[in-house]
Structure 1
Amino acid sequence: MKKIGFIPLRKGSKGIPGKNKRKMVGRPLFTWVLGEAIFSDLDEIIIYTDDEAIINFISKEYQWTTKVKAQLRSDESASDTATTEMAMLEYCDSIAYDFDAFCLLQATSPFTTRADINACLSKLNEGYDSALTVVNTHRFLWNENGTPVNYNPLQRPRRQDFEGVLIENGAVYTTTKVALKKNKNRLGEKTAIVKMPEASLLEIDSENDWISVEQLLIERQKRAKIASKITHVVLDVDGVFTDGTITYTKDGEHTKSFDMRDGMGLEILRQFDVKVLVMTSENSELVAKRMQKLNIEQVYLGVKDKYSLLQHIIKEQKLAITNFAYIGDDVNDLTNICSVGWSLAPNNATAIVKQHADIVLSKPSGAGAIREACAFIMNYNKRF
């Protein structure tokens, strides 16, 4: 059964300009659901957008997977009056409905996980022709005329005794090809429900919404941390290996400064069978040569979505994120900082990274921070 995911994106956003591309915990908002879709049971994920910057981002960022494709949608299907169904059907017509199961994913639902996607897909094998995600809310609902919707005010139940109501959170919808062609709608005639946590009901329509969702995501990632032996350490480059400054000539990048003691610390760390990886958003020939000198084989340059790439490495090499340490200094490291077993930040890292890192080192970047981190890792691993 061919299962495709569909993430519609528009350039326009009334409440929060550029919302889809804005960094949520250091990652473009839409990459939260995209990353989970990649590691779900979906066979292919389509980013359907009128934003050519996103199309270019997809083509450069996800070369490590064959699942993701970006396609330009028509101006008509991306207008303010267009419905999501219009975009869905436009795309389905363009591929002559070449799929068995269709999965609509909402880019502004960052709480969506691969488990939620898989649960909705699995319902299509249980006699349902569609499925959607919902939240069980225990709020008491009222009509505008002052009448209650879902409870008797004269017999007000305790929260623990109240079943509540199920509300669509708009995160995931799956449907069969037959149902989609017949109904021209994301839902069929026999629909299953999949429950998601109550936090996933939050919509991102204002700056206050953004702040609330971002903080909840950070806390979700941090709650999943487990203290385990460190077998792998991932390092950013600028602001970790270096002091974050670069000199330029008219021909471009000229020099970066590296601390030799940091290199020795990593060499000693590898002698204790800790693997070293480098992951940086810059695509620098100087960095490539320095890492070659340090005999670091796993070097990933030009990476914008560091969390998804780390998830890919973990899956491919059959590792666990709890066995990783991560050293970063800026917002694009933040999701990994909040997710790995141990996270460390140089003393001169940005305030938000230092706020969420497990360890703030006493040394600044480019001046012994990595060497100090290596000493911590070796001492920490002694307990295992």
Structure 2
Amino acid sequence: MNEYVALIPARGGSKSIPLKNIKEIAGKPLIQWTIEAAANCSKINEVYLSTDSEEIFSIGQSLNCNKLDVINRDPENATDTASTESVMLEFADKHKFENIVLIQPTSPLLTAIDLEKAIEIYEEKNADSLLSVVEQKRFIWEVEKNEFVCPVNYNPQSRPRRQEMEGCLVENGAFYITKKELLIETGCRLSGNIAYYKMSDESYYEIDEPEDWIIVEKLLQQKNKTQSPIDRDIKLFLTDVDGVLTDAGMYYSEKGDELKKFNTHDGKGMELLRKAGIKTGIITSENTEIVTNRAKKLKVDYLYQGVKDKLKVAKEICQLEGITLYEVAYIGDDVNDIELIRNVGKAACPSNALKEIKSLKHIIKLNTSGGNGAVREFSTLILE
């Protein structure tokens, strides 16, 4: 079961801006901005784009995102009057997950960092739900029954400076997080103890009208947004040892010393990665002096042996490098590699990997077996 899944509902029918979800804004289709944010968030396991439009479906599939599944929406949940909750409940009925992150495609200023930090708050507070907000320091008035107005959050006779105001939290509609069980129980995206994540002021804008489009596009251009494209550059290459750098064979000398067979072509592949500016590392469940010596020979940046949770170690390395898991490539061959394979940007397995690994979605099945140049083949694909 995935701990977090992201759901992006993107309907084809839009009255104010026809087909706005796939209209290009700041150089990309609108839906691509939020898909990238979700896919680049290491805490989100799978991203689902739900649509009733063949055009949106086609563009979603063309984005080359290994975390993304494009799914069809029931026609009854694609009408002008259908609620977003109806789409969420339809999704919950068909998919297994623990927590859902609902993301509106009309909020392209959302980033992966926003999602990472929001999920941290959600977990730290042990919240039932979370919503994104912006803080606004505005003087708010309301209309009374006599049609005159009265202030809500300040006294006009002692008008404060705006910087001295506490401000109020305004829902910006970018994203919501809740538990599956509560979604089904209440039929609502928010329930129970609700936490919040405060986004930047400019994220107040949602694209609903043509005027919003102009403002948001200018903001995206001015920020020179650096969120990487889906088919992003790899900045870290990680590999398993047995069955990948070796042929998984167990060799012993007459004295009983354990031996391992490595391949010089793999060494060259690692060297080429380093020259291209890509950091390298080895993560293995074994703990031997042989691997220590081989790692020194390969000049890898990171060596972790005796590892039980490879995904956890990879996340630690990402924090040290200031990158996300989506900028990581990993090659593995056995069941203890599955979780890491599912969460990195690019994953591959040797031709002799276990069938459980070969059957994983989006994995690159190499033509070369472990210990016979599989790492070299994968490194060549990355560099190309």
Unaligned segments of structure 1, at least 5 residues: 225-231, 233-272, 276-310, 319-384
Unaligned segments of structure 2, at least 5 residues: 228-234, 236-274, 278-322, 331-384
Other structure's SS at 1:109 match:
coil
State the shift of 1:50 in Å.
0.3
* Alignment partner, residue 135 of structure 1: 134
Q: Which amino acid in 2 is paired with 1:156? A: R
2: CA distance between counterparts of 1:151 and 1:8?
A: 39
* Alignment partner, residue 93 of structure 2: 93
1:47-84 superposed Cα distances (whole Å, 9 cap, x missing partner): 0100111212222322x51x100111011101000000
* Alignment partner, residue 254 of structure 1: none
1: CA distance between counterparts of 2:32 and 2:109?
A: 11
Give runs of aligned pairs for residues 193-208 of structure 1, distance below 5 A: 193-208=196-211
Larger Rg: 2
| Conservation of the 8 A alpha-carbon contact between 1:3 and 1:101 | yes
State the shift of 1:144 in Å.
2.7
How many corresponding residue pairs? 233
2: CA distance between counterparts of 1:21 and 1:144?
A: 40
Other structure's SS at 1:20 match:
helix
1: CA distance between counterparts of 2:102 and 2:225?
A: 28
Structure 1 runs of 4+ aligned residues shifted over 3 Å read 311-314
* Alignment partner, residue 68 of structure 1: 68
* Alignment partner, residue 172 of structure 1: 175
1:39 aligns with 2:40: yes
**More off after superposition, 115-124 vs 194-203:** 115-124
- Aligned-residue identity in percent: 38
2: CA distance between counterparts of 1:161 and 1:109?
A: 29
TM-score, normalised relative to structure 2? 0.57
* Alignment partner, residue 105 of structure 1: 103
Distance 1:138 1:223, change over 3 A: farther
* Alignment partner, residue 9 of structure 2: 8
1: CA distance between counterparts of 2:326 and 2:196?
A: 31
State the shift of 1:203 in Å.
2.4
* Alignment partner, residue 302 of structure 1: none
| Conservation of the 8 A alpha-carbon contact between 1:173 and 1:187 | yes
Q: Which amino acid in 2 is paired with 1:11? A: G
Q: Which amino acid in 2 is paired with 1:86? A: S
1: CA distance between counterparts of 2:62 and 2:33?
A: 17
TM-score, normalised relative to structure 1? 0.57
- Tell me which of 184, 192, 199 is aligned to 2:195: 192
* Alignment partner, residue 316 of structure 1: 328
1:84-103 superposed Cα distances (whole Å, 9 cap, x missing partner): 001110111122xx111111
